[in-house]
C-alpha cells in the first residue's frame, strides 16, 4: 500500500448555511465553517454565542433546521487522491460516523464503576471486528500516556476528580483514532500544566494528519495553539482567520463587551489576551496622600 501524499488544508468537515432554532429562538443563523486537515480550529465567543450548539451540529447530535454538514467519506490512505468526497452527516449511521470523528463532551461522567482503562478502551469500540482491533492494547497504553492518566488506569472513574475524569475522556478520544477530533472545553477543569498538555497533544494529532476543532474560553490558550480561530457572536460567524487576524483588542472588546488588551509575550511572541481590570474605586479621584512623617 503506497502512502498517499498528504494534502494539507483539505476540508474534512464542512458546514453550510447552518441555522438552528431552539424553542423558537434562533441560536445559529447561516453559519458556514470549514475544518481542514492538519489544522487546529478553535471556536471562541461569549456565553450564548452558539458555540456548543454549533459543536453539536458538527458532531451530528443536533439536526439543523436549515443547511448541511458534510464529513469526509474515504480514508486518507485508501483513496490516494488529493480530494475525497464528502458525505452528509445525517445520512451516515452512528457506526460509520464513529470511525470518522471522535467527540469529547464537557460532561465526562460514567454511570458505573468502570476503571479508567475500561473507559479508555471504550474508545476502541468503533474498530471492533476490524483488523485494527489487534492494536487495542498498544493504542490504549499510548492514549493513557498521552492523557497523562497511565497511573490512574486501575482507578474507578467515579472516584476521580473532575480534571482527572476530563483527561480520561481525552485519552478515550485519542484511542478512537479518528481523522476528525471535536473537543468541547477539554481544558475547563484542568490545571495550567494539563491545559497546555491537552491542547498541545491535540495539536500534535493535527500535525499527524487529523482535523481538530476545540472550544476554549481562554483566549491566550486559543492564540497559542490555534491555526485558525472562529469567533462566534449571536449565532453568526463574526470573524475567521489566524490568531493575529481575529484576536485584536478592538474586535474582542466589541464582541465580549468588555475592554480587552492584547499583548505580545516577552518570550515566544505569542499573543496574550487580558481583560482590562478596573477596581471598583478606579474611577474615584486619586486617594489623598497621607503624609508619612510623624509629628515630632
Task: List binders of other proteins among 89-118 (CB under 8 A).
Answer: 93-103, 105, 107, 109-115, 117-118
- DSSP state, residue 71: E
List, in sequence order, the alpha helices (H) in the chain: 51-59, 76-79, 94-98, 116-121, 136-146, 162-175, 192-207, 219-225, 243-246, 249-256
Residue 12's H or E segment, with its range, is strand 11-22
Burial class (CB in 10 A: 0-12, 13-18, 19+), 285: exposed
Which one, of 241, 208, 198, lies nearest residue 223 by Cα?
Answer: 241
Which one, of 116, 260, 103, lies nearest residue 178 by Cα?
Answer: 103
210 vs 219, beta carbon nearer other proteins: 210
**What residues are paired with 20 via a beta bridge?**
28
Which window, 130-138, 186-194, 213-221, 256-264, contacts other proteins (CB under 8 A)? 130-138
Contacts of 23 (CB under 8 A, 6+ apart): none
153 vs 249, beta carbon nearer other proteins: 153
Which window, 138-146, 244-252, 253-261, 275-283, contacts other proteins (CB under 8 A)? 138-146
Q: How far is the CB of 166 from other proteins (least distance, A)?
A: 13
Instruction: Name residues contacting other proteins, limited to 169-188 (CB under 8 A).
Output: 174-179
Q: How far is the CB of 217 from other proteins (least distance, A)?
A: 21
178 vs 220, beta carbon nearer other proteins: 178
74 vs 163, beta carbon nearer other proteins: 74
Q: Which of 13, 57, 58, 59 binds other proteins (CB under 8 A)?
A: 59
Secondary structure (DSSP) of 158-201: GGS-HHHHHHHHHHHHHHT--SEEEEESTTTT--HHHHHHHHHH
**CB neighbours of residue 128 within 10 Å:** 10
Q: How far is the CB of 34 from other proteins (least distance, A)?
A: 19
55 vs 256, beta carbon nearer other proteins: 55
Instruction: Name residues contacting other proteins, limited to 211-270 (CB under 8 A).
Output: none
Q: How far is the CB of 148 from other proteins (least distance, A)?
A: 7
Instruction: Name residues contacting other proteins, limited to 16-35 (CB under 8 A).
Output: none
Size, binding site for other proteins by CB under 8 A = 82
Q: How far is the CB of 227 from other proteins (least distance, A)?
A: 10
How far apart (Å, rounded) are the C-alpha atoms in residues 110 and 194?
21
Q: How far is the CB of 99 from other proteins (least distance, A)?
A: 4
Q: Rule CB under 8 A: is residue 66 a binding residue for other proteins?
A: no
**CB neighbours of residue 277 within 10 Å:** 9
Q: How far is the CB of 272 from other proteins (least distance, A)?
A: 19
Q: Rule CB under 8 A: is residue 75 a binding residue for other proteins?
A: yes
Residue 263's H or E segment, with its range, is strand 260-264
159 vs 261, beta carbon nearer other proteins: 159
97 vs 214, beta carbon nearer other proteins: 97
Amino acid at each position: 500500500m503506497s502512502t498517499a501524499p498528504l494534502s494539507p488544508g483539505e476540508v474534512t468537515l464542512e458546514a453550510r448555511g447552518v441555522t438552528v432554532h431552539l424553542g423558537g429562538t434562533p441560536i445559529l443563523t447561516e453559519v458556514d465553517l470549514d475544518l481542514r486537515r492538519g489544522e487546529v480550529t478553535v471556536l471562541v465567543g461569549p456565553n450564548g454565542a452558539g458555540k456548543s450548539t454549533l459543536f453539536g451540529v458538527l458532531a451530528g447530535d443536533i439536526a439543523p433546521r436549515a443547511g448541511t454538514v458534510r464529513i469526509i467519506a474515504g480514508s486518507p490512505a485508501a483513496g490516494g487522491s488529493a480530494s475525497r468526497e464528502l458525505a452528509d452527516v445525517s445520512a451516515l449511521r452512528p457506526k460509520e460516523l464513529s470511525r470518522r470523528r471522535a467527540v469529547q463532551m464537557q460532561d465526562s461522567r460514567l454511570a458505573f464503576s468502570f476503571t479508567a482503562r475500561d473507559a479508555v478502551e471504550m474508545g476502541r469500540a468503533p474498530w471492533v471486528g476490524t483488523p485494527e482491533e489487534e492494536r487495542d492494547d498498544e493504542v490504549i497504553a499510548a492514549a493513557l500516556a498521552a492523557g497523562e492518566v497511565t497511573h490512574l488506569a486501575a482507578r474507578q472513574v467515579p472516584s476521580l476528580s473532575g480534571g482527572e475524569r476530563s483527561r480520561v475522556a481525552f485519552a478515550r478520544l485519542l484511542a478512537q483514532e479518528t481523522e476528525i477530533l471535536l473537543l468541547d472545553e477539554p481544558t475547563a477543569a484542568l490545571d495550567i500544566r494539563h491545559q497546555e498538555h491537552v491542547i498541545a497533544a491535540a495539536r500534535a494529532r493535527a500535525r499527524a494528519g487529523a482535523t481538530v476543532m476545540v472550544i476554549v474560553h481562554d483566549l491566550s490558550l486559543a492564540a497559542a495553539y490555534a491555526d485558525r480561530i472562529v469567533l462566534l457572536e449571536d449565532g453568526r460567524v463574526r470573524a475567521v482567520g489566524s490568531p493575529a487576524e481575529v484576536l485584536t483588542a478592538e474586535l474582542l472588546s466589541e464582541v465580549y463587551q468588555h475592554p480587552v488588551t492584547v499583548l505580545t509575550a516577552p518570550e515566544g511572541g505569542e499573543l496574550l489576551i487580558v481583560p482590562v481590570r478596573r477596581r471598583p474605586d478606579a474611577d474615584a479621584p486619586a486617594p489623598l496622600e497621607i503624609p508619612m512623617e510623624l509629628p515630632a
